[in-house]
Structure 1
Amino acid sequence: MPDSLVRESTTTSVVVLATTPASRLSCADGTLLDRLGDQLATLTVGDVQVLSAGGGLGADLRAVAKIARISSGPVVVLPADLVAHTEALAQLVEHPAHDTAALVGTDPTGGPMRPPVRVGSGKIVAAGSSFHVVPAANATFRGAMQAGEADLGCLADIADELAELAEAGSLGPVTPVEAVDLLLVGLVRSGVSVRAAVLGKLHADRVTGQDAADTAITRLADVDERRVRLDTSVKSNDGFFATYFVSPWTRHLIRPAARLRLTPNAVTGISIGLAVLSAIWFSAGTRDTQIAGAVLLYLSFALDCLDGQLARYTRAFSPLGAWADAMADRLKEYVVYVGLAFGYAGALPSDNGGPGGIWFLAVAAMILQVVRHMIDFSFAGALADAARIGSSWAKPPRSLLESAHGGRYGVPKQGMLGLAQRMERESVTRWLKKIIVLPIGERMALIAITAAVFNARVTFISLLVWGGIAALYTLVGRIARSVT
């Protein structure tokens, strides 16, 4: 029977598989099991159940199934012989999505304690074990996985099925060491979307002997977890302007903001205030005030980046915060449009549509941005709907008795989508793809520069031209992706 180890206030449950001898290996904190328990105590988890009975692989899997069926939140499954950074475990336990995910390393060299996986578009699309083969593997599974609340029923069914197959000898000479590996294989083959939580500079390795455990623990000290946490708080796939002209200095504000106990929502509020001040300065219409407005707009965008960085660093995520941040971006941009139009109109005699039709241009730029956002968010919504509905219409789940698989996971994609993926691997073309879609960082830079150097008319015309190209590019890409 499972033994309760700790209790916290959240609904995330953790199942620790301590049924192998390696879990009793010694370390400075006692045993590897003790060390793992101390790490979990620092994370926001609920019940931690330790499976210590030696009933074999089938018994372990059935215990996981039982826990999955009675849990009301995500379930994390960890082997007690895992030596990992606490920050690595946090990528599962404290990720805001609380989704189904698994820790993977980008080293494709597999082994008995590092089963191969294939990762594509941030998801694990194929997973292996000593029985299941993965062609063209590009990563390895490091033993820690989480099943999101929506996938708990699937996890329970898979665990029971695997228990039956293991007890019948249908999976070959698999051992209790492979329990987590088999569960990941089952989830992937059942069509569950499994996020690849990439370790990056962090370490997570399973060990089999005392020498391996000592070496793995020593390796952990070579990495500054606080520095890695700070680095991962800054988006690695952000836009060009944000990456090179904002994040290099806002990253130095993350820790001070955390020490001051500023919340991400508070930073968002300050960002909105700066954008409103920017619009007021723009509305004055003189060259000096245009420059002042441009500087305030840049600072407003910098704080817009900082609020997300702070949220990731402190793990202070909430659906309300994400919604407020998205709405704040739209509000700030459109307020600035109004300020620019007022400033330009005040310097010229009035005519139809304002001086030089500036209000027509402002409204057109606003409508174009609304259409662009509609294209993006409606497509994202369609993908989410397809993911929810598609499981009942898609091809049946793949058998757990297939020892090898290829097909769609081993065949490169062709056509326009394949070209886009090849471009993504090249640094120059990847940045061009990011720039051409005119993300918010590039838009704020475009507004600030054209307003400071030229005038609002140039700003709106630039937004319409570049935004139109971006809308066409995005629309063609969405269509190509849909038909592919």
Structure 2
Amino acid sequence: MRLTPSLTRASSTASVVLLATTPACRLSCADGTLLDRLGDQLAALSVRDVQVLTPGGALLAHGEQPEPEHAAHAGGLGADLRAVAKLARGSTGPLVVLPADLVAHNDALGLLLQHPARGSAALVSSDADVGPLRPPLRVEGGRVVAAASSFHTVPQANATFRGVLQAGEADLGSLADVAEELADLAESGRLGPVSAVEAVDLLLVGLVRAGARVRAARLGPLHADRVTGQAGADGAITRLAEVDEDQVRLDTAVKDRDGFFTTFFVSSWSRHLVRPAARLRLTPNTVTGCSVGLAVLAAVWFSAGTRGAMVLGAVLVYLSFVLDCLDGQLARYTRAFTPLGAWADGMADRLKEYVVYAGLALGYAGGLPWQHGGPDGIWYLAVAAMIVQVVRHAIDFAYGGSVADAAKIGALWAKPVRSLLEETDGRAGAPAQGVLGLSHRLERDSLIHWAKKMIVLPIGERMALIAVTAALFNARVTFAALITWGAVAALYQLTGRIVRSAR
């Protein structure tokens, strides 16, 4: 394998364990071998550290290729798993386990290696083409809830695993524990005739059964296939060329589960601005700054209070929101994820909204007799609208934080929730019951799906509500609409969080 300096330089991406434990990693391709090809791909993705594991758990020396060696037996598998456990215990960040017999698009690997969350994840496909190198999975709510190997089965499978597993920093201890347990079980023959080919499949089974929250990174139209022979490798590489990776990246840069207004009235055309913005070398933070600037201008026009100024302010609010969507799309397209950018985007949303509130209140108060709280109590209404939004965001962020904390505590303290000796994962696939189950069933209807999206008053609907009511009516109507809809949304969200927490 050609280990280039970029493979070991510091970066923000995860460390990678390349499992060169099967003969297929030496299959030839235009870049040398499949192992060489993966090395070049990881270099292009700026991976900070690569460890190459050879049969029996030994590390590959610099510049060497793995020797032909039969490792598809329980003893070899046990040593490989123990080597992964040792690397997991010594890792200081996310660790990706990647079989060297994989043929994949660069962007397919980037779905894990360049994702900003850095948590545990598995590369999955929604197709039902199950095979020895494509074990079935069950995915619910965007995460893997059951995984399979030649020994373990999955009821009601709805996806397949494509061989790439990432353990987030919080789950490294769990990965090490299950790797060692799986090594013992494999060596004792209690998992049946498992082989070194299944190492990553077994690790996913163990991580899921240990209670880790494993995000399902869906391939979509991209390809990632493990191969066993030269014909399979040649065919897999040919299929890669049939997909336009750049187009797929653009398509996935636009959220497919966004709000109604954002989906149909913004993202439907803002996607065409992503490539020009990238060619102009605009950064997502620059676009965020422009969005804030337009919101401030909107507030200035709203403060004038005339009908023409209100209409122009409404147009500027809409354009500000378009740029608010564009900055995220540009970040996903260019993979320019930074903690500062995520923080700035969230803070900018709040700043823009409250500046617009102030502009609307000033415009309404202008020229009218001053009363306590402003004319018609307009400042009271503005503050009440702000409070409603603050409460809604507190409900969201507090719930999200509690879920994250619970996941960390579970990874650190909980015992495996399902035994690795149980062939069938009986706890997977159980449908939600009660109110939550009814909600899931109703969401299959398109009209109800979009109604549920709109009732929570996401930012797209809020900006549209502000723009339309300000242009057609006045600030008092705008604030009354925000308070009423916002209160309904807060009650809906609170009820939903309570039901989910009680599940």
TM-score using structure 1 length: 0.96
What residue in structure 2 maps to residue 69 of structure 1? 89
In structure 1, how many angstroms separate the alpha carbons of the residues matched to 2:398 and 2:118? 23
Question: For 2:498 and 2:91, how far apart are their aligned partners in 1?
Answer: 40
Q: Please list every run of 5 or more consecutive structure 2 residues that lacks an aligned counterpart in the other structure.
A: 56-68
Tell me which residue corresponds to 2:38. Answer: 36
CA distance in 2, matches of 1:220, 1:448: 45
Match of 2:430 in 1: 411
Q: Deviations over 1:266-306 (max 9, x none)?
A: 11111111101100000000011001101111111111111
Asked if the contact 1:423–1:429 (Cα under 8 Å) also holds between the matched residues in 2, the reply is: yes
**SS of corresponding position for 1:388:** helix
Aligned: 1:455 with 2:474: yes
Indicate yes or no: 2:191 matched with 1:190: no
Question: Which region of structure 1 is more displaced relative to structure 2, 318-327 or 445-454?
Answer: 318-327
Equivalent residue for 2:9? 8
The counterpart of 2:405, out of the listed 348, 370, 385, is 385
1:226-266: CA deviation from partner (whole Å, max 9, x where unpaired): 01111111111111111111112221221222222222111
CA distance in 2, matches of 1:3, 1:290: 63
**Does the 8 Å contact 2:88/2:175 carry over to 1?**
yes
- Whole-Å separation in 1 of the counterparts to 2:49 and 2:405: 32
Q: Is the aligned partner of 1:301 residue 2:302?
A: no
- Deviations along 1:385-438, whole A, 9 cap, x unmatched? 2223345676643221111121x3132111110111122332221111011111
For residue 50 of structure 2, the aligned residue among 35, 48, 63 is: 48
Deviation string 1:167-220 (CA, Å, 9 cap, x unpaired) is 111111011110100111111111111111010111111111222222211111
SS at match of 1:409: coil
Q: For the Cα contact (< 8 Å) 2:162–2:226, is it kept in 1?
A: yes
Question: Contact between 1:4 and 1:49, CA under 8 Å: does it hold in 2?
Answer: no
The yes-or-no answer on 1:330 pairing with 2:350 is yes
Single out whichever of 149-158 and 92-101 deviates more from structure 2: 149-158
C-alpha distance in structure 1 between counterparts of 2:403 and 2:167, whole Å: 21
The answer for the alignment partner of 2:239 in structure 1 is 219
SS in 2 for 1:16: strand
Partner amino acid for 1:59?
A
Distance 1:73 1:477 in 2: 34
Aligned length: 482
Asked if 1 retains the 8 angstrom alpha-carbon contact of 2:291 and 2:321, the reply is yes
Q: Pick closer, same or farther for the CA change 1:4–1:65 going to 2, 3 Å.
A: farther
Indicate if the aligned counterparts of 2:254 and 2:329 stay in contact, CA closer than 8 A. Answer: yes
SS at match of 2:353: helix
Matched ranges for 1:111-260 at <5 A: 111-260=131-280
SS at match of 2:130: coil
Pick the aligned partner of 2:126 from 89, 101, 106: 106
Contact kept, 8 Å, 1:103 with 1:142, in 2: the verdict is yes
1:450 offset after TM fit, Å? Answer: 0.7
Aligned-residue CA RMSD (Å):
1.7
Contact 1:44 1:94 in 2 (8 A): no
Describe the superposition over 1:296-325 as per-residue Cα deviations: whole angstroms up to 9, x where unpaired: 111111111111111111222122221121
In structure 2, distance between residues paired with 1:423 and 1:79: 40
The aligned residue for residue 424 of structure 1 is 443
Does structure 2 conserve the Cα–Cα contact (< 8 Å) formed by 1:4 and 1:50? no
Distance in 2 between the 1:333 and 1:12 partners?
36
Give yes or no for the alignment of 1:477 onto 2:477: no
- SS of the aligned residue for 2:443 comes to helix
Q: Does 1:374 align with 2:394?
A: yes
- Higher mean alpha-carbon deviation, 275-284 vs 421-430, is at 421-430
2:351 counterpart SS class? helix
Distance 2:226 2:416 in 1: 33
- Partners of 1:116 and 1:224 lie apart in 2 by 27
The amino acid across from 1:315 in the alignment is: R
What is the alpha-carbon distance in structure 2 between the residues aligned to residue 172 and residue 3 of structure 1? Answer: 36
With over 3 angstroms needed to count, the CA separation of the structure-2 counterparts of 1:176 and 1:393, relative to structure 1, is closer
* 1:32–1:83 contact (8 Å) kept in structure 2: yes
SS in 1 for 2:137: strand
Identity of aligned residues (%): 72
Q: Which moved more, 1:412-421 or 1:258-267?
A: 258-267
The equivalent residue for 2:62 is none
Map 1:339-354 onto structure 2 (within 5 A).
339-354=359-374
Q: Which runs of 5+ in 1 are unaligned?
A: none
Is 1:92 the equivalent of 2:93? no
The reply on whether 1:466 has 2:485 as its aligned counterpart is: yes
Which residue is equivalent to 2:305?
Answer: 285
Whether the 8 Å contact between 1:285 and 1:347 is mirrored in structure 2 is no
* 2:25 is the alignment partner of 1:23: yes
Measured in 2, the distance between the counterparts of 1:410 and 1:313 equals: 34
Cα drift, residue 472 of structure 1: 1.5
Q: Which is further off, 83-92 or 354-363?
A: 354-363
TM-score (norm 2): 0.92
Change (3 A) 1:80 1:66: same
Residues 385, 70 of structure 1: CA spacing in aligned structure 2 closer, same or farther, 3 A cutoff?
Answer: closer
Contact 1:76 1:147 in 2 (8 A): yes
For 2:405 and 2:172, how far apart are their aligned partners in 1?
20
Q: Answer yes or no: is the 8 Å Cα contact 2:212–2:410 preserved in 1.
A: no
How far apart, in 1, do the equivalents of 2:413 and 2:10 lie?
Answer: 38
